[in-house]
Chain A
Amino acid sequence: MKKSFDRRWLFLAVGLVVVVFLRIPFRLKYAPNQKTRGVYQAVESLPPGSIVYLAVDYGPSSQAELLPMHEALVYHMLKRDLRIIAGSVWESAPPVTDKAFEKVAAVLRKEGIEKKYGEDYVNLGFKAGLDVAIAKIGSSIPETYPKDYRGAPVKELPIFEDVENFDQIGLLCNLSAGSPGARQWLQQVQTRYNVRMVAGVTAVMAPDLYSFFQSKQLEGFLGGLVGAAEYEYLIERPGLGMAGMNVQSLSHFLILGFVIVGNIIYFWGRWKKRKEELE
């Protein structure tokens, strides 16, 4: 009977690499690609005081991949004195948004920059309705979100003084891990209102966005942890992205090693079988 390889050896090897090299930090060189630079340039090109709509559409399961780029983007935007309106159509996203805002605000406070909730950033919370909710947000933000995540009427917040819809929004930035996500924002908001858009997605979703980047509907996008690491490199603020890329780089090589060994075993088996047949 043919003995099949127990895949738990593979799991053990991957686990060991991740655990060991998380404790052994090392520096890598980054060469951010055109898509990451597109996101960076889009944020850099906005004049101070502009409003960014941050659509946070991911949950706790994708935090490992998307939270690093989320924090890097929020840090970059607030440091450039941009104002952020954050909303979600995923029910588990608002606590993650709050956490990112609080963490970045604390970091900026240490750098001597004070950012206030309601004036510089706001978390509108969750809106049920998926694609329909996105379409309604596009037509009127205060009508769709009469109150923010903390229960305050949005019309009373300073950040909403002149904001009605996407005509007043300088940039739409979507962070998503599935559906509804970047594609739905492109369909419902970007094409209808012709608003500038960038996105941050998980690595698995990144290939879907190449065609939108080539057609210039997206000015840039960040794909997975490598996108987060490249963005941190551009804003010169190492964070979770760059820390995670060390381990991810080695894991890629490990999996490639498994694939090569698997192919060697496969071809050796085939050669042996052919030899036996000839004999």
Chain B
Amino acid sequence: MGSERRKALSRYRYFLPLIFVVFCISRPLTIAGETETAKEAVFHREHLNVLVALIVFCAFFFYFLFRSRKGRALYLRKIPGIRAIEEAVGRATEMGKPVLFVPGIDDIDEIQTLAGIAILSHVARIVARYDSSIIVPTRKSIVMTVCEETVKESFTAAGRPDAYRGDNIRYLSDDQFAYTVGVDGIMLREKPVANIYMGAFYAESLILSETGFSSGAIQVAGTASLSQLPFFIAACDYTLIAEEFYAASAYLSKDPKVLSSIKASDYFKIVTILVLVAGIILVNVKPEWVEMFKFWF
């Protein structure tokens, strides 16, 4: 009887998000009338160029999305670092040692963390398929919660929900270097054979990768933190640089919907390069048009 009541009550939990949305909309409506609104333009004209760029990007995005739905294959060049991830997991399985996945040290609002977690879901699926284990130390508690759900869902999708170990997803510390030392401790005690660093990193990147190097693990890193790339390149076997890191989850999933966003950003980059070249020519040939050009771009 108790479980039936719980089931019935659990259906009502979906009303909580609805209450949240209604509250967010209604509060501004009730206080809007109390404040004087200045006579300002409705649209921020100085952001017009950003809006145009966003529309162009979305146009490319939806074009490739519809193209992928029609079954036309999307070509992307090979990135060695991404293939190395599967080899690293295979090696971990052979040696009976775990894989260490570090999803960056930033919080869930950082886009690199989200990209890292997207890669984690694929890596966890590979780990589950190979019957290996994965350790995911996190620096932020919200990231730990999301990683728990991600890894659990990946193991379930691979048909191995029994193999999931919640204790392997660990929140260590909010302090940057306490977290770094904690991860180093995991590397030296549990001796993972593969270290995968995917996300936002700061000063601790070299400490992590050098410790991993000294422990003999194969290391694959991916980050868009440009100042840390040289350290990863020096100490890791493979490094995904900036956009390669963002494209990695698309590669691993091979999902056409995700791949289409990579194609969109590539084509938008071509547009950006053309605009840059046009600007360089304009500055030298017709300097009087530069102000108008600057407004639009």
Contacts and interface: CB of A to CB of B under 8 A. Distances in A.
Q: Do A and B bind each other?
A: yes
Given A178-B176, A202-B203, A207 B227 contact: yes
Contacts of B110: 179
Contacts of A108: none
A92 B175 contact: yes
Nearest to A91: B174
B148 interface: no
A132 interface: yes
Contacts of B176: 59, 61, 178
A217 B176 CA distance: 29
**Which size bracket describes the interface of A in this complex?**
10 to 19
A205 interface: yes
A208 interface: yes
Interface in A48-107: 59, 61-62, 91-92
Nearest to A132: B109
B227 A208 contact: yes
Interface in B223-268: 226-228
A177 B203 contact: yes
A59 B174 CA distance: 11
B202 A178 contact: yes
A152 interface: no
A16 interface: no
Task: Name the residue among A61, A130, A208 with the largest chain B CB count within 10 angstroms.
Answer: A61
**At the interface, is chain B mostly helix, strand, loop or mixed?**
loop
A61 B176 CA distance: 8
Interface string B189-227: 000000000001011000000000000000000000011
B106 interface: yes
A19 interface: no
Contact of B106 (A62, A132, A179, A205): A179
Contacts of B184: none
Interface string B105-134: 011011000000000000000000000000
B202 A177 contact: yes
Nearest to B201: A178
B154 to A, nearest CB: 27
A205 B226 CA distance: 9
Contact of A178 (B109, B174, B203): B203
Contact of B203 (A61, A92, A130, A132): A61
A92 B177 CA distance: 12
B227 A179 contact: no
A177 B176 CA distance: 11
A91 to B, nearest CB: 7
B203 A179 contact: no
A205 B200 CA distance: 13
Contacts of A202: 203
A120 interface: no
A164 interface: no
B200 A179 contact: yes
Contacts of A207: 226-227
A205 B109 contact: no
A224 to B, nearest CB: 12
Contacts of B109: 130-132
A62 B227 contact: no
A31 interface: no
A204 interface: yes
A220 to B, nearest CB: 19
A208 B226 contact: yes
10 contacts: A59-B175, A61-B175, A61-B176, A178-B176, A178-B203, A179-B110, A202-B203, A204-B203, A204-B228, A208-B227
Given A179-B202, A204-B202, A205-B227, 11 more contacts: A59-B176, A61-B203, A62-B203, A131-B109, A132-B109, A178-B202, A178-B203, A179-B106, A179-B110, A204-B227, A204-B228
| CB-CB nearest 6 A-B residue pairs | A178-B202, A61-B177, A204-B227, A205-B227, A208-B227, A130-B109
